[in-house]
Structure 1
Amino acid sequence: MHRYFFELKNSQRSFVMGLASRYTEFPLGRSFNYVGIRFLPSAFSRLFRMTALELTNRCEALDSVDSGAAAFISLSFHPALTFQEQKSILDGYFLNHIRHAPVKRDPRVCRALHTILANGGDLQLARDLDPGLSPRQLRRLFNQDVGGSPKTFSRIIRFQHVLRTAKTYHNVRRSHFFDAGYYDQSHFIKEFEALYGQLPSKALKR
């Protein structure tokens, strides 16, 4: 999912990142205080009239994509702000943006997104998705609105679902991976490392 982020002590430099279909790492200093704004699936492209695929697996300076938001963040944020103050400032900015540029979402894409999310990414796309579009048309709309195909989005949601529910490596070893829709443990380990950057045996509690 698309997100804006910036360091509270250096709000003059803000960034935007698109859908991430692979593990990405950012260097951090010993002390940091990042603020992030994550958009719901398909909201970013509709809100800012952009093709989401342009930012997939990319991180860009925000002023090159949304100069208005970059300028607003630079002028409005400083380290003394509390979390609630930060939230209030961002809520006001985006609600005002929505009022002046209403988001028109494609109901067919919304239905497909809801089905994928409701099933934790574990579904047979050809059988379980019925948005009233051909698979080719649905892929095109997903690439445009979400930044990846329904298969890619389902893969990410399935992985996030496992992270929320597995909690420990012991659960994974007790076939939790199979319950989430992975073919076998080796398939799960490969997907986990590709999306998390570490093996589950290292990333999850024993």
Structure 2
Amino acid sequence: MNLLITPSSDLSAFIRDLWLIDHRHDSSYSTLPDGCPGIVIQLPTALIDSSGAQIPVAFVYGQTIQQRTFHTTAGTRTLGVVLEPGALRALFDLDAHILTDDCLDLSELLPADSDFLERMATRKKPTAQIAMLEDFLRRLLRKRRIYEEWRTLRTAYNLISEDAKLRSIAEIRSELGISERSLERRFRQWVGVSPRLYGRIVRFQSAMNYMRAGAADFTALAHNSHYSDQSHFIREFKEFAGTTPAKFRKTFLESVPNFVESRATKPGESLPHSESI
């Protein structure tokens, strides 16, 4: 069972999506850059990365720039929270650049909530686990002050995200009325990457959305996603996805957006698409 869940309205300023995957067999998954940090919780066992290292059972991760591969075992349930850019600092008071292409054990970050996973493991129904996860996030938000910088930052990344066409730094800082140095500093603290790199990830995700919709003409796709030409699109796609668009389409299937599994599942099995609730 794969679920993609819209967050409750009171959390939507900080949370983009929640998701849940029940792994039916041992699998390898890869993550794609999406411009967002997040939280991952695995029940009952932890993920293992491509180097063989065990990942914490529950962790907070930052911006993903390099594709990363994980291995799961049959019977594992993975829950995820896709946070809005900037939410790491709003929720955890962390400078986002610290976790770019990295993760942090949730129990180390929030030792007072160390029993949270034990309590979640006693809930077997997905709806109950998601509700518990949302309540946990609400408690975090009540403990934090939402800085004025957060509002400015949200305006900045929304300007970049309005379309895939990369705005110049000068355009963005002019609309916000701040200096280029201040804009770069705020993006580093709140988002974890530069405005320029964030814009490139937004453009990559625009291309991914066209591919999800079934676009087959890569020349038209490159134009619609504001790449200079098809070769530019393929080069940047390979940088972020680790393979070419054509090979990606043949080889991978998304369980939930930006969490992809090889199509080489067990004989006779097909990977289910995610359901939205």
Partner of 2:41: 6
- State the TM-score, normalizing by the size of structure 1: 0.87
Spell out structure 1 runs of 4+ moving beyond 4 A: none
Tell me how far apart the structure 2 counterparts of residues 105 and 164 of structure 1 sit (CA, whole Å).
32
Tell me how far apart the structure 2 counterparts of residues 23 and 88 of structure 1 sit (CA, whole Å).
30
RMSD: 2.3
**1:106-185 alignment to 2 at 5 Å?**
106=149, 107-120=151-164, 122-129=165-172, 130-167=175-212, 168=214, 170-172=216-218, 174-185=219-230
SS state of the match for residue 77, structure 1?
helix
Partner of 2:12: none
SS state of the match for residue 223, structure 2?
helix
Partner of 2:259: none
1:189 deviates by 1.1
1:80 deviates by 5.2
Q: Write 1 or 2 for the structure with the bigger share of helix.
A: 1
Tell me how far apart the structure 2 counterparts of residues 156 and 73 of structure 1 sit (CA, whole Å).
33
Q: Write 1 or 2 for the structure with the bigger share of strand.
A: 2
1:115 deviates by 0.8
Question: What is the CA deviation profile of residues 83-136 of structure 1, one whole-angstrom value per residue up to 9, with x for unaligned ones?
Answer: 21111101111112212324224232121111112123x222235412211222
1:196 to 227, 241, 256: 241
Q: How many residues of Structure 1 are paired with residues of Structure 2 in the alignment?
A: 203
CA contact (8 A) 2:123 2:129 kept: no
Gaps of 5+ in 2: 1-35, 47-55, 251-277
Tell me how far apart the structure 1 counterparts of residues 138 and 103 of structure 2 sit (CA, whole Å).
24
Partner of 2:91: 47
1:156 deviates by 1.1
Gaps of 5+ in 1: none
> Which amino acid counterpart does residue 4 of structure 1 have in structure 2?
I
SS state of the match for residue 128, structure 2?
helix
Percentage of identical aligned residues = 25
SS state of the match for residue 217, structure 2?
helix
Bigger CA drift: 77-86 or 131-140? 77-86
1:141 deviates by 0.5
- State the TM-score, normalizing by the size of structure 2: 0.66
